[in-house]
Amino acid sequence: MTNIPDDDKLMDHDYDGIRELDNDLPTWWLATMIFTIILGGVYVLHYHVFSGGNLMEQAYQRELNNAAQEQQARLADFDSLSPQEQRAQLLLQGQGVFTSKCAICHGPQGQGMVGPNLTDEYFLHGGSLEAIQKIIEVGVADKGMPKWEGQISPREIQGVSQYVYAMKGKKLPGREAQGEKEK
């Protein structure tokens, strides 16, 4: 073999005829590696040991909470909502009122228990949105339906009416059909 000027730096191993020199790493590379190690240590101390910053999951949850609060504030002003958003809010509110006050007699899905089935196409006092709202407001004393006007707000009555109206035609199994078929 010929004498190479860097012969003293040659390492003892040989890969497919390629011999490797044992050169020192460049200073910039060593500085970058040391900086990265220090930065990693500071990161671990700051985020995991001392909990000084928000990790990704915490930041995500904070952003979700902020967005929910902003949405609640925006939805609080019902009159400023678009008609579609108002309808969605009324349905959501109506579902809550139905679950808490109406499901006792009409079943959790409106399938009828003591009260009539609200999911079929038969109605005792009319199936239009206006008729449903009127029945909720004034009740039907001889059938056991209480008068809800004065007990819940007009907006809640409107929401329950829309929720009950949306149930119509689902035909869930439950109490037998009563009244006349809606045309």
Spatial contact of 38 and 32, defined as CB atoms under 8 Å apart: no
One digit per residue, pLDDT tens: the chain, 183 residues? 555 566 667 767 777 877 777 778 999 999 999 999 999 999 999 988 888 877 888 889 999 999 999 888 877 777 777 888 888 888 888 888 888 888 888 888 888 878 888 888 878 887 888 888 888 888 888 888 888 888 888 888 888 888 888 888 777 787 777 777 776
Helix pair angle (154-167, 129-138), 10° resolution: 130
**Same domain, residue pair 104 and 157:** yes
CB-count burial class (<10 Å; 0-12, 13-18, 19+) for 72: exposed
Q: Give the DSSP H/E element, type plus range, for residue 112.
A: none
Tell me, yes or no, whether 3 lies in a domain.
Answer: no
How many domains is the chain built from?
2
Determine how many CB atoms are found less than 10 A away from the CB of residue 121: 16
- pTM across the whole model: 0.58
Tell me, yes or no, whether 162 lies in a domain.
Answer: yes
**Same domain, residue pair 102 and 166:** yes
Tell me, yes or no, whether 71 lies in a domain.
Answer: no
Domain that holds residue 92: 79-181
